[in-house]
Chains A and B, each alone.
Chain A
């Protein structure tokens, strides 16, 4: 298992009250195994729709998505998915929320409990294993949800604006945590965001989408050295990359000065 994602001429049309909405139009994109790719675009442009299609949660209207050459036709259980909100189960303690991933996949519970505790520890949640979600801050909850997506060591990690609802400091810490985890165990990451600097900081490639229906406007390869620290954002290259994406947004008319 390597985790290559091939999106081939995929389109999505939703039926809504009084007509249809085209969310994605003939989008083709291949993500190599172990690659970190971000999708950026205006809100409501269809990037989240694309992600749910890759996960097999929503069927594509046309085209095909393959993960490791297997067509995605049903919900993919061997991937990890991080939602915008943590989506923790309120009645489960932090570690039991992480273990949800293990229960559904019929993996040996006892082995994974220890791994789950270690994962929580690695994102700074040691001692919080038995706390209920309401006893955790927003950032902590999102960390638990990331552990839940990682515990079965999936080759593919899909993230839908996972840091969107967090404050700036927490977001930076989580970005660093995510990069560290990714560096240790190379996973294919498809990361949806509307933050340009987040995308440039994290990714190997940034795919800029058009406004709805989503198509690829431009793909930018980020050649900043790894491992990356927060300071990289002050470098000239970093600023050039963000400016380039900003220019695309301005050309699209999403941003106006």
Chain B
């Protein structure tokens, strides 16, 4: 009885939770913008020091074609770097976990490579690979790759002993053990790593564009700053935030589809309703 009633109430409660989840951040954002606008107007701050939100909005609307063009470039570089880091990072992590010698060979090298600041070696990639998309994709890949490897290794290594025993008793080969037990069990950790990697990939692409580019939001930021077009800088930053949020949201959406069974994803009423 209780369970059927709980599930009947659930959609309504669910919707109200979703609405509240939107209201709170919107309210705090609007408040912040209002204070910002108030300060700029009251103290007559010069637009090249700090443009008002209204001015930034006007730039966003007036120059949306330029902004959109550079946004798409940066999005492309970010996405390509991120996808590469997933495609290469997960297999490397799997190999590292499967063969101890590989772990000893590769892991110290991986860790050491991460202590080198990417900003410092970014110019090298420009020298080697030119001013095109490739060096930006490589830099985005390099920064995104590490959290994916680390989190996948951590996930794959934390398969409980009982699950390994279970796999042995049902007669799984090591490949079946990976595919049917360790890998799906590691998905929550892998997704956590991907979320970090996604945000880092944006930073990587921007750094690449800072160093040498003729397109992309990183280029636009440098250009607009040099020209003292501060409102345009802010407009570019807004687009940058949108890229980050949209891509992050995309990973979260994938996560919800891939691991609906995980504690971090499933909804409360499912746990209460079916006991």
Contact = CB atoms under 8 A, between A and B. Distances in A.
Interface stretch (B10-18, B207-215, B258-266): B258-266
Given A103-B170, A104-B171, A134-B261, A52 B165 contact: yes
Looking at A55, A76, A91, A105, which has the most chain B CB atoms within 10 Å of its CB?
A91
Nearest to A76: B169
B163 A90 contact: no
Contacts, number: 69
A100 B274 contact: no
A102 to B, nearest CB: 8
Contacts of A90: 185, 261-262
A75 B270 contact: no
Given A89-B184, A100-B180, A75 B168 contact: yes
B188 to A, nearest CB: 10
B123 interface: no
B88 to A, nearest CB: 25
Contacts of B176: 103-104
- Which bracket fits the contact residues of B? 20 to 34
Interface in A74-108: 75-77, 79, 81, 83, 85, 87, 89-91, 100-101, 103-106
B160 interface: yes
Contacts of B100: none
27 contacts: A55-B165, A57-B169, A75-B169, A75-B171, A77-B168, A81-B165, A81-B166, A83-B162, A83-B166, A85-B162, A89-B163, A89-B180, A90-B185, A90-B262, A91-B187, A100-B166, A101-B170, A103-B170, A104-B167, A104-B171, A105-B170, A105-B171, A106-B171, A134-B266, A134-B270, A134-B271, A137-B275
Interface of A: 52, 55, 57, 75-77, 79, 81, 83, 85, 87, 89-91, 100-101, 103-106, 131-137
